[in-house]
Amino acid sequence: MLLRAILPDVLIDNFEVVNFEKTDSRFDIYLDEKKVMMREDKNAKIKELKTRIATLEKQLGKKKAKEDADDEPKKHRGKGKPKEKVEKLIASNTVL
């Protein structure tokens, strides 16, 4: 509590007192930085991560779209295979 009266809040909030020494002429306080991110740093990190995620999602979307386009000739619409359909049409004498 006494340190809060002497030191600014930003020091108390972000640093731990690890040692102090008192001499006749001085009072030394040793601080160690806490491993805590400031709110501004957290917000910047979150924004950076969201941007990276969006970029990766775009890249994956483009990759998926390319894979789908590559697979498209292999896919057939309707029932049966195209060759079977043609054979059925020929067999039934249906004009295309």
Is residue 96 a part of any domain in this protein? no
For residue 43, pLDDT beyond 60: yes
Give the Å distances, CA to CA, from 4 to 8, 11, 26, 37, 62: 7, 9, 18, 20, 55
pLDDT at 25 over 60: yes
Q: Which two tokens stand for residue 22?
A: 């008192």
Same domain, 46 and 67: yes
Residue 17 inside a domain? The answer is yes
Q: Which residues form the domain of 53?
A: 39-71
- Dump pLDDT digits (tens) for 83-94: 666 677 666 665
Q: What angle (nearest 5°) sits at the alpha carbon of residue 73, between those of residues 71 and 76?
A: 100
Cβ neighbours around 44 below 10 Å, total: 12
Domains identified in the chain, total number: 2
Q: pTM value?
A: 0.35
Instruction: Identify the weakest region by mean pLDDT among 1-5, 29-33, 46-50.
Output: 1-5
Is 47 a domain residue?
yes
